[in-house]
C-alpha cells in the first residue's frame, strides 16, 4: 500500500474484528465479500 497510515488503520480494524468473531464464523464474512465482488463484476460488464 502506498499509505502506511492506512495500512496500520486497516490492521488495527482487522485485529478488533478477529477478537469479536469466532473462527468458524469467518466463512460468513468471506462468502459475503466474495458475493459482493461477484455482483460488482457482473454489473461492470
Which residue positions in the chain have pLDDT lower than 70? 1-2
15 with 21: CB under 8 angstroms? no
19 with 25: CB under 8 angstroms? no
User: What pLDDT, on the 0 to 100 scale, is given for residue 2?
Assistant: 63
Backbone angles phi, psi at 21, to 5 degrees: -125, 140
Read off the pTM: 0.51
Amino acid at each position: 500500500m502506498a499509505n502506511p497510515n492506512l495500512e496500520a488503520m486497516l490492521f488495527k480494524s482487522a485485529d478488533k474484528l478477529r477478537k469479536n468473531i469466532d473462527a468458524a464464523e469467518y466463512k460468513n464474512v468471506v462468502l459475503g465479500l466474495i458475493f459482493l465482488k461477484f455482483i460488482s463484476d457482473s454489473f461492470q460488464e
